[in-house]
């Protein structure tokens, strides 16, 4: 069990949490996660909350391999209206902002978000970690090499598990020294990693428990699933469920997913066996 202090709202995790994905983007890798109008964002958030999402993670920047990086100004234009509307309509819901820009993080927390999810763990914007410390919200630090534009070429490791672990140990220490109290680690499935790297990390996930901090796994509908199964991303729900189950068995505390209902069922069945 762990707790996260989300701007005074205490999120108590006596079982694994579900983080639902909402992308306010036109170009995220899975079309079913794209919600570009305010009405659609609110409708999807309500659906996820009813289905049992503990956190709603909203992002305005596609981070699929080779995506075009947009500016802070454009990203804010995409996410601020949705965050403000979510905060007003669902005030008890924990909203996370998925960004690697410190300015976006600051503005979104002021608008109602109470968690920051950074795919770069502060490597793209060096002001991110001190900014989150000042904001006093939980921080997801994810492993990546390079940027979404270069990460495919950076997918080279002598020992993926050891190198990702070393990176996250260093980042957790950096976050704690900066004053971030609630750090969540994410091995970064699909980011600067091949399919084999992803599966090795999932197999060895329990090793990351040595950091004594919540572990987030975001493998929902990713190419490691649909390429292995030779299916389109739209048919990757069953594979996602399998890998989410393995993630829980190996120590995951938070599942970041496109499909909340199915992930919630995984948690319920896992809990019936292991708790």
Residue 176: partners with Cβ closer than 8 Å, 6 or more residues away: 183
40 belongs to the catalytic site: no
Q: Classify strands 115-118 and 55-59 as parallel, antiparallel or unpaired.
A: unpaired
Counting Cα atoms < 13 Å in the Cβ hemisphere of 144 gives 23
Q: How many helices (H) and strands (E) does the chain have?
A: 9, 10
The active-site residue out of 172, 221, 222, 264 is: 222
Buried b / exposed e along 233-264 (16+ C-beta atoms within 10 A) = beebbebbbebbbbbbebebbbbbbbbbebbb
The active-site residue out of 256, 261, 264, 268 is: 256
193 belongs to the catalytic site: no
Cα–Cα distance measured from residue 258 to residue 264, given in angstroms and rounded to the nearest whole number: 12
Buried b / exposed e along 8-41 (16+ C-beta atoms within 10 A) = eeebeeebbbbbbbbbbbeebbbeebbbeeeeeb
CB atoms within 10 A of CB 145: 20
- Show which residues are catalytic: 222, 256
């Amino acid at each position: 069990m762990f707790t996260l202090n989300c701007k005074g709202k205490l999120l108590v995790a006596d079982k694994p949490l579900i983080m639902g994905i909402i992308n306010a983007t036109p170009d995220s890798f899975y079309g079913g996660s794209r919600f570009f109008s305010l009405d659609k964002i609110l409708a999807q958030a309500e659906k996820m909350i009813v289905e049992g999402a503990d956190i709603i993670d909203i992002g305005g920047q596609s981070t699929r391999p080779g995506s075009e990086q947009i500016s802070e100004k454009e990203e804010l234009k995409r996410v601020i209206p949705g965050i403000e509307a979510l905060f007003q309509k669902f005030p008890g819901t924990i909203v996370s902002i998925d960004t690697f820009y410190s300015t976006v993080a600051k503005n979104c927390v002021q608008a109602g978000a109470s968690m920051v999810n950074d795919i770069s763990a502060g490597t793209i914007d060096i002001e991110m970690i001190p900014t989150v410390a000042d904001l006093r919200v939980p921080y997801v630090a994810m492993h990546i090499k390079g940027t979404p534009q270069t990460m495919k070429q950076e997918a080279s490791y002598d020992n993926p598990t050891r190198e990702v672990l070393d990176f996250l140990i260093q980042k957790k220490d950096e976050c704690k020294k900066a004053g971030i109290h609630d750090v969540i680690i994410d091995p970064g499935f699909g980011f600067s990693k091949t399919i084999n790297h992803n599966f090795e990390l999932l197999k060895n996930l329990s090793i990351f428990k040595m950091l004594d901090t919540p572990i987030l796994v975001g493998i929902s509908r990713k190419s490691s699933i649909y390429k292995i199964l030779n299916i389109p991303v739209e048919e990757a729900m069953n594979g996602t469920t399998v890998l989410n189950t393995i993630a829980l068995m190996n120590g995951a505390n938070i599942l970041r997913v496109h499909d909340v209902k199915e992930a919630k069922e995984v948690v319920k069945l896992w809990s019936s066996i292991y708790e």
